[in-house]
Structure 1
């Protein structure tokens, strides 16, 4: 009878009740069925069915017997009354032996519960028709697929017509077409469609079956540098290489499956991307072992019709519980991990890391929310004083942007400036920072008309110079706010101005001619090509804080780097010879400030003087200076402490 799983019956037509039991119609009910066999007929059962109730049916009998369609008339008790020659030939039993047989057993209608129930409903007159596809065994040993249709005959006949059609050729064609549809023509491996079909089925099975581990694993790999093979040797060689890689991956999967109940599924997902799916995995060690074997298998060169090629692969490895996992989620994790493997140097495998992925997701969330955040006004500026080393007075302030994110809280620039430069939103954000800082500097000036004004320093990214008309933006902002050009300082990193030529150099020169001061931020951390200091319109050098941290600390157990002080002193002298002023960043102790003052540093910036604070705290500090407060640093400290108290609610 049936071999292997039997497909669900293809039921055609609605369930229609065409007969009733004896209590409703007076007609004796059909005998009950047990399994595929009728019970003994009741005592008042009607006489056996005759197909020739009158002479006119003789022609019908002749047509029935000679019809090419395999047919049988089946009584309501499920037994074959008569069958034609075509059915006997199809089943390989001959016609004479069919009458009296149980029809359900001839075409395997009782092995599937749904089909068996529908068949009984047709026999009882409660359903209009049954159509299904069954797999039966021929006496000579081969199997064939047949389409079975059961249709009630007119009520007077008290029977149903069973017709059987051999659809083996059609099924075989469908199977071949499906194979072509589901397999890659180059490597003969399952393609993306079949892979996702298997993956979805595996996730569902692992989630509900209790006999296995309930886990699933995936190795997602991409060939390193495969595009160069196609570009230099042609797609024909590239296809041969893909087929050879597929063979080695299949060997790795077969080897991995020998010691386990299941063999990993190898599929080509497109291009030079392959996947190895491990169902019922036992943990990350199993996936790591498989990934290692794949990398090792691909190390040996490939001989392709005279071409000797070497190739490596990057592999993303994911292993997790199937419950709660979706095919899309698993593939996203695998794709992310594959990207990590390539970013970490290629020719390696990398295991999925939830924490690293969370960081990536956060980064993506911040990147996508930058532009809307600017429009919603989620950014604010804080200011850190730039203090004169000789007299301790606030000469200026650096504007530092903060993002008050509704989900992640207050973010400092190192969390989002790089993202803004990547997607171009730094131009829009930079304009806002420039206008806000200049407006605030002008407000301080108007509040203290009789005191020397303080300048504001604003950071400018390289992309702002290239992607916007920085000169026009600055000129428009100064005109709009009324701030004098010499009260604005623009900070660019050393790497941004290295080798400047063309548009950047022209922009810097135009800004300098306008009266705006240009400062080189984090000086000393790049290539430090001193030649550009004589060519660029730079007026200020800001020494990177790493040099200041290495100063000798008097009265402490710290281990400084004596060379840092020598380097800083040399840079200060060079800057002064070139007519530049020097600002030291990250000044945190009085000892550092004293040494910087002795070697001629002009201004200092750091926590010794103040953390970045809101603009009103700067006003308090400047006001304390105007009143001649004996210790200006204490005034700054009080301003910073007051701010912390407001933020935490402490007194």
Structure 2
């Protein structure tokens, strides 16, 4: 039995002398004893019963306070009730009612535990309590049944020596038993039943003596029930035990705990069969009700994620790897807007209406729709009848939300995005199937929603790889997997290395060296770009200071990219100032490069931060100018020093005979002219040939970078280029 840590009551009781902390427990125990006292078969007075229930109440309270939550001890409490001779089914029913109504009242949940979670814990506690009670009662009943069976066998064995005495004892046991007993021959003809069994079925004893056991088959009987029955009458087994339903005389169902034993003669030859039945109908109904609560969504009435995963596991565990499965993962489009504008009550009513429409789309018993939580649903199809069944179901889901839902006089419109996946049980595991359908759903979302996306293995693999990189990013930064390379910025007029741009790389333990195109966007989405960006800035500034100490007057400035999130981070100015101070780098040696996308929609606070940086002496370059929004008002509002022209404008100018786009050179000329009119310098990116360098020099671009001058490399590459001077580029040599 697991140990339940003491809850707040126990701690409170230990701190007080007057016992006031125990009042809530005592009040609950008093109510509990008063409710079940009329149904107990004990010799205890009600006051004694209350004292007996007091430690059980403390254990119930401790279970609700256990961390992690563990309901297993509740089964022992249910068993304890039976051991105290509280065996009437009403004791179980009334106990569960009292626990449901009063336990949370006298043991309020911790403030950190939401009411919904507390009610969920309470329901699981009730279920475990009922299970323990039922198991103990079953064990007790089985012991009685075994005693009856042994008594019956003993009576038969002594029949020749003391027939009359034995018959008298057997009849007393048979007729006075609290459980139903029936005797039949090996052909199934019923020879006798007791009054308890007759009352259980709503008939008279005489009526049963004309019937056969086979007449009591029930549609819900499992095949192995009657298989074991046939084995018993053939003498291949001596008994079997099941929970089995029967129809009564009025057509209702009675659930029994059935034990059938074979009676043999003194030579071991099968003679009779004895059936003993305990009526467990109320317990079965209670168990079914608790199971329904555990496997169904209380808001919509649909199955919940527990039921969905249970059915999915059953399909995968069936043993038939050729079983085909279809899965639709659904997410409502526009539901958040309804919740935010009209409130959660309207959102809940909308979910109920959507669930009803989705249920109406189901056409077979092999189809299930369940609510996963929030506005997410799933539909499972096991062994589709035809290849189009799953796709047809998905299309019906889409069509079901074509018409708006009317709530409180308002017409609310929502649509649904669906990720569809079909596979065999052999092709993937259950968790992989759900993950793949979920990824496919978000492809449908990314395409605008209100549509169906079908699983694509390659797209799924890319998304899994992307997810793996996303989850690895924090550890990669902590474990030093990132490093910097530097690409020179060369003055087109005299060939000097004017600066170096710091470019971050990721040395991934499995995938090797990754460029920023593989992970910077992910870091931006997750927010990790801020600490990563500051790490890059600090490393680059330290390297720039090292160049200054080594090269003195010929040291290049350092250019560092500033991400969108960094640019809008309130601590930007202080962090940059701190890094400059720690690395002993003069602000004039640092240029920050920012893209137009970082400026679009930027508030005045972010623009003010950029102005503060330039006031400190830091240079500011507008990166990829001409490819984005290109709002010239930013050139007026922020103190930009340099425009960086994107490589796409010069890609067609690599060779003398390349036709290229004649407008590209004119655009570059216009951008250069605009920049010079505003007293801004121009850097052109992507220079790969001597011809491109010459044309950009002719257009009076000040600096350039690209593979013609050098690929990105380690810091000593920049040191060597600075030492080589202008001769490095003579003759169009390329690194």
In structure 2, the partner of 1:299 is: 402
Instruction: Tell me if the contact between 1:52 and 1:58 (Cα under 8 Å) persists in the aligned partners.
Output: no
**Structure 1 residues 403-449: Cα deviation after superposition (integer angstroms, max 9, x where no partner):** 11111111111222222233333233223322322333333333334
- Which residue, 552, 573, 583 being the options, matches 2:683? 583
Instruction: Tell me if the contact between 2:231 and 2:237 (Cα under 8 Å) persists in the aligned partners.
Output: no
Q: How big is the shift at 1:375?
A: 2.8
**Structure 1 residues 427-478: Cα deviation after superposition (integer angstroms, max 9, x where no partner):** 33223322322333333333334x5332221112232244364444444444
In structure 2, the partner of 1:323 is: 426
Q: How big is the shift at 1:583?
A: 0.7
Change in 2 beyond 3 A, CA 1:526/1:407: same
Give 3-state SS (helix, strand or coil) of 1:71's partner.
Answer: strand
- Which residue, 615, 622, 625 being the options, matches 1:523? 625
In structure 1, the partner of 2:384 is: 281
In structure 2, the partner of 1:195 is: 308
In structure 2, the partner of 1:631 is: 730
In structure 2, the partner of 1:148 is: 258
**Structure 1 residues 91-122: Cα deviation after superposition (integer angstroms, max 9, x where no partner):** 68865697899989989999445677799999
Do structure 1's residue 485 and structure 2's residue 584 form an aligned pair? Answer: no
Distance 2:159 2:184 in 1: 10
The structure whose residues are more often helix, as a share, is 2
Q: How big is the shift at 1:141?
A: 7.0
In structure 1, the partner of 2:123 is: none
In structure 2, the partner of 1:558 is: 659
Instruction: Tell me if the contact between 1:621 and 1:632 (Cα under 8 Å) persists in the aligned partners.
Output: no
In structure 2, the partner of 1:49 is: 159
Change in 2 beyond 3 A, CA 1:368/1:232: closer
Change in 2 beyond 3 A, CA 1:179/1:476: closer
**Structure 1 residues 39-83: Cα deviation after superposition (integer angstroms, max 9, x where no partner):** xxxxxxx98937964659747745744666433578999998864
- Aligned pairs, how many? 580
What's the TM-score, normalizing by structure 2?
0.68
Distance 1:621 1:434 in 2: 22
Q: How big is the shift at 1:601?
A: 0.9
- Which residue, 712, 715, 722 being the options, matches 1:615? 715
Instruction: Tell me if the contact between 1:73 and 1:80 (Cα under 8 Å) persists in the aligned partners.
Output: yes
Change in 2 beyond 3 A, CA 1:382/1:75: same
Distance 2:373 2:293 in 1: 15
Distance 2:512 2:190 in 1: 80
Give 3-state SS (helix, strand or coil) of 2:627's partner.
Answer: coil
Q: Which consecutive residues of structure 1, in runs of 5 or more, have no partner in the other structure?
A: 1-9, 20-29, 31-45, 641-651
Distance 2:199 2:582 in 1: 99
Instruction: Tell me if the contact between 1:498 and 1:532 (Cα under 8 Å) persists in the aligned partners.
Output: no
Give 3-state SS (helix, strand or coil) of 2:362's partner.
Answer: helix
Change in 2 beyond 3 A, CA 1:150/1:344: same
Q: How big is the shift at 1:390?
A: 1.9
Instruction: Tell me if the contact between 1:283 and 1:319 (Cα under 8 Å) persists in the aligned partners.
Output: no
**Structure 1 residues 186-236: Cα deviation after superposition (integer angstroms, max 9, x where no partner):** 54433333333222222223xx237xx522011122222234445555666
Distance 1:142 1:480 in 2: 84
Distance 1:231 1:482 in 2: 50
Q: Which has the larger displacement, 357-366 or 471-480?
A: 471-480
Instruction: Tell me if the contact between 2:721 and 2:728 (Cα under 8 Å) persists in the aligned partners.
Output: no
Do structure 1's residue 356 and structure 2's residue 459 form an aligned pair? Answer: yes
Do structure 1's residue 214 and structure 2's residue 326 form an aligned pair? Answer: no
Structure of greater relative contact order (alpha carbons < 8 Å, 6+ residues apart): 1
Q: Which consecutive residues of structure 2, in runs of 5 or more, have no partner in the other structure?
A: 1-134, 148-152
Change in 2 beyond 3 A, CA 1:455/1:143: closer
**Structure 1 residues 164-184: Cα deviation after superposition (integer angstroms, max 9, x where no partner):** 334445545544554455444
In structure 2, the partner of 1:398 is: 501
- Which residue, 555, 572, 597 being the options, matches 1:495? 597
Distance 1:482 1:381 in 2: 19
Distance 1:509 1:339 in 2: 40
1:20-169 alignment to 2 at 5 Å? 49=159, 53=163, 58=168, 61=171, 64-65=174-175, 69-72=179-182, 83-87=193-197, 95=205, 111-113=225-227, 131-136=241-246, 144-149=254-259, 162-168=275-281
Distance 1:150 1:535 in 2: 92
Distance 1:188 1:445 in 2: 71
In structure 2, the partner of 1:606 is: 706
In structure 2, the partner of 1:290 is: 393
Give 3-state SS (helix, strand or coil) of 1:274's partner.
Answer: strand
Give 3-state SS (helix, strand or coil) of 1:392's partner.
Answer: coil
1:500-519 alignment to 2 at 5 Å? 502-519=604-621
Give 3-state SS (helix, strand or coil) of 1:463's partner.
Answer: helix
Change in 2 beyond 3 A, CA 1:146/1:506: closer
Aligned CA RMSD, in angstroms, stands at 4.4
In structure 2, the partner of 1:252 is: 361
Instruction: Tell me if the contact between 1:51 and 1:61 (Cα under 8 Å) persists in the aligned partners.
Output: no
Instruction: Tell me if the contact between 1:389 and 1:603 (Cα under 8 Å) persists in the aligned partners.
Output: yes
In structure 1, the partner of 2:512 is: 409
1:368-447 alignment to 2 at 5 Å? 368-447=471-550
- Which residue, 434, 452, 463 being the options, matches 2:565? 463
Q: How big is the shift at 1:582?
A: 0.8
In structure 2, the partner of 1:340 is: 443
Distance 1:476 1:305 in 2: 58
Distance 1:326 1:543 in 2: 50
Distance 2:608 2:622 in 1: 16
- Which residue, 326, 333, 342 being the options, matches 1:224? 333
Q: How big is the shift at 1:347?
A: 0.9
Give 3-state SS (helix, strand or coil) of 2:159's partner.
Answer: coil
Distance 1:243 1:507 in 2: 49
In structure 2, the partner of 1:4 is: none
Distance 1:263 1:84 in 2: 43
Distance 1:122 1:66 in 2: 31
Instruction: Tell me if the contact between 2:490 and 2:497 (Cα under 8 Å) persists in the aligned partners.
Output: yes
Q: How big is the shift at 1:314?
A: 1.3
Q: How big is the shift at 1:263?
A: 4.5
Distance 1:172 1:51 in 2: 47
Instruction: Tell me if the contact between 2:440 and 2:455 (Cα under 8 Å) persists in the aligned partners.
Output: yes
Change in 2 beyond 3 A, CA 1:85/1:514: closer
Distance 2:347 2:603 in 1: 43
Distance 2:569 2:649 in 1: 33
In structure 2, the partner of 1:567 is: 667
